[in-house]
């Protein structure tokens, strides 16, 4: 049997034969490893030649760079870029073009455009290379009262205007890689929970719990059955990841769904409320949208409220079910009901539920219901001050969209376990450069009103 040593010996003899057959030989080896930032030593197959040229049969591999140029027989380069700019013997036409472009000696419109892009993005001005489309005339103006938009889409704009433009205006979305799926995604977990609860409410539309009444044993049994049916369909579609990991997640979902009904029993008992609707659409499925009067027009809002309850006293309770962490919702406070303009769903859902089940004077309570991680509620009262704040915020955001303000706004924290914004970090390597660019350009006067809403502390720092 041929051993590894035999195969290496054969390869070495082939190399020597190739060297012997050529009048001139150029052999190279890397000086370093860019990934590990470590030094590399010459191949042991080249060490003998180095010793012969240096006249030192004891030359150590670690000392190869102490022998000089050996009369022109040994040449070194500190890096590829350095050799590209200063070397005398470039390998390809592309390398010559790259050198010419780097020294502004290449007359190429595409290269000039690329250079202009790099220079603009390195500066502090908000330019067309950074999402400044103020010169465009055909961007959507949602204040015209003709085209609806969802509060989730507006929240997307708040999170990253660039991602809103690419996804919502251009219609470009990240390509999913199902083969990379190891566990079911958080989004699919949320879809599974929502579909299961909605299916239960629809199947028992004429037999839902009354004012303060608990879910029955039949309700509970059927909910678990629906969960299994929906889960099986997702398994068939390849959305659940590795079977062993999915089995554990599915078992936990059964526990969580049962706990959901327990928590809902307690919540409705406190409020003397009954279940009125699940996945209540507005602006969809033939239902009227919510018309929000803003300072500069009317904005039509569409969406679907996860759950609506009605209290015996006429109060409308609307709930948005969340299966993730409440961390990003903790900024919602009585004196900051929209969390600085970042959370718009609750007041919009509240207005939609009041339009459907109440009257203009009906009190409305809207809340996020966290049903898995850190179970609990975060809510607001949808009163006149909240509606006024909503109108002002939506007016500013829709004005910014129609004005063409789409700067990339990457998250403050780096990406570790997952990519937070696929549009700011499309290759998954990181968004640090894009974040640095945003922190420079957010002080541009064109973005002043938007930044005052999104990051008022940044303006405070500039004033200081």
- Beta-ladder partners of 366: 318, 380
% of the chain exceeding 70 in pLDDT:
97
Calculate mean pLDDT across residues 377-399. Answer: 96
Largest Cα–Cα separation, the chain: 100
Helix axes 217-236, 243-271, angle to 10 degrees: 150
Calculate mean pLDDT across residues 49-57. Answer: 88
Q: Is the pLDDT of residue 34 over 60?
A: yes
pLDDT given for residue 111 in this prediction: 86
Cα–Cα distances in angstroms (integers) from residue 405 to residues 32, 201, 296, 400, 452, in the given order: 44, 42, 18, 6, 14
Q: Which residue do the tokens 């009904």 mark?
A: 261
Q: Degrees (nearest 5) of the Cα angle 234, 189, 205?
A: 85
Calculate mean pLDDT across residues 202-220. Answer: 95
Give dist(CA 106, CA 127) in Å, integer: 25
Residue whose C-alpha is closest to residue 231's, from 203, 262, 199, 265: 199
Calculate mean pLDDT across residues 355-368. Answer: 95
Helix ranges (DSSP H) in 298-411 = 345-357, 384-403
Residue 160 half-sphere exposure, CB side, CA atoms within 13 Å?
Answer: 21
Q: Is the pLDDT of residue 462 over 70?
A: no
Cα–Cα distances in angstroms (integers) from residue 340 to residues 159, 175, 297, 389, in the given order: 11, 32, 22, 10
DSSP helix, strand, coil percent of the chain (3-state; round to 5): 50, 15, 40
80-102 residue pLDDT tens: 788 888 877 787 888 888 888 88
Q: Is the pLDDT of residue 373 over 90?
A: no
Give dist(CA 75, CA 64) in Å, integer: 11
**Which of the four pLDDT bands, split at 50, 70 and 90, describes residue 463?**
low
**Which of the four pLDDT bands, split at 50, 70 and 90, describes residue 179?**
low
Give dist(CA 170, CA 24) in Å, integer: 55
Q: Is the pLDDT of residue 172 over 80?
A: yes
Region of 407 (left: φ > 0; alpha: ψ -120 to 50; beta: rest) is beta
pLDDT given for residue 394 in this prediction: 97
Among 146-155, 242-251, 314-323, 413-422, the least confident range? 413-422
Calculate mean pLDDT across residues 400-424. Answer: 92
Give dist(CA 240, CA 214) in Å, integer: 32
pLDDT given for residue 408 in this prediction: 95
Q: Is the pLDDT of residue 186 over 70?
A: yes
Q: Is the pLDDT of residue 457 over 60?
A: yes
């Amino acid at each position: 049997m041929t051993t590894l040593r035999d195969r290496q010996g054969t390869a070495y003899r082939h190399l020597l034969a190739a060297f012997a057959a050529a009048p001139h030989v150029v052999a190279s080896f890397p000086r370093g490893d860019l990934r590990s930032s470590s030094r590399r030593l010459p191949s042991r197959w080249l060490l003998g030649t180095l010793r012969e040229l240096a006249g030192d049969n004891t030359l150590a591999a670690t000392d190869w760079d102490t022998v000089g140029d050996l009369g022109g027989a040994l040449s070194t380069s500190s890096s590829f870029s350095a050799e590209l700019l200063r070397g005398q013997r470039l390998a390809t036409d592309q390398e010559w073009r790259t050198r010419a472009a780097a020294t502004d000696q290449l007359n190429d419109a595409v290269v000039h455009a690329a250079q202009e892009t790099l220079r603009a993005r390195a500066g502090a001005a908000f330019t067309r290379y950074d999402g400044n489309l103020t010169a465009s005339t055909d961007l959507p103006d949602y204040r015209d009262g003709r085209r609806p938009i969802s509060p989730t889409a507006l929240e997307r704009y708040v999170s990253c205007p660039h991602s809103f433009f690419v996804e919502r205006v251009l219609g470009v979305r990240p390509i999913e890689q199902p083969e990379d799926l190891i566990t079911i995604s958080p989004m699919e977990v949320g879809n599974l929970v929502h579909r299961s609860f909605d299916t239960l409410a629809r199947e028992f539309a004429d037999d839902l719990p009354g004012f303060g009444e608990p879910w029955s044993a039949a309700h509970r049994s059927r909910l678990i059955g629906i969960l299994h049916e929906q889960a099986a369909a997702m398994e068939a579609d390849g959305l659940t990841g590795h079977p062993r990991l999915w089995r554990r997640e599915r078992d936990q979902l059964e526990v969580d769904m049962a706990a959901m009904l327990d928590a809902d029993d307690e919540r409705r008992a406190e409020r003397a409320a009954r279940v009125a609707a699940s996945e209540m659409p507005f602006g969809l499925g033939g239902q009227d949208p919510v018309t929000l009067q803003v300072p500069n027009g009317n904005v039509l809002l569409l969406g679907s409220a996860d759950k609506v309850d009605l209290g015996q006293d006429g109060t409308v309770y609307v709930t948005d079910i969340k299966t993730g962490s409440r961390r990003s919702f903790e900024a919602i406070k009585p004196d900051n009901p929209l969390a600085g303009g970042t959370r718009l769903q609750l007041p919009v859902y509240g207005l939609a539920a009041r339009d459907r089940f109440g009257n203009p004077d009906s009190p409305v309570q809207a809340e996020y219901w966290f049903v898995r991680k850190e179970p609990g509620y975060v809510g607001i009262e949808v009163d006149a001050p909240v509606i006024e704040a909503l109108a002002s915020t939506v007016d500013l955001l829709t004005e910014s969209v129609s004005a063409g303000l789409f700067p990339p706004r990457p998250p403050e924290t780096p990406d570790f376990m997952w990519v937070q914004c696929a549009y700011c970090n499309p290759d998954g390597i990181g968004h640090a450069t894009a974040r640095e660019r945003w922190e420079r350009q957010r002080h541009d006067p064109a973005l002043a009103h938007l930044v005052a809403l999104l990051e008022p502390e940044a303006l405070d720092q500039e004033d200081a």
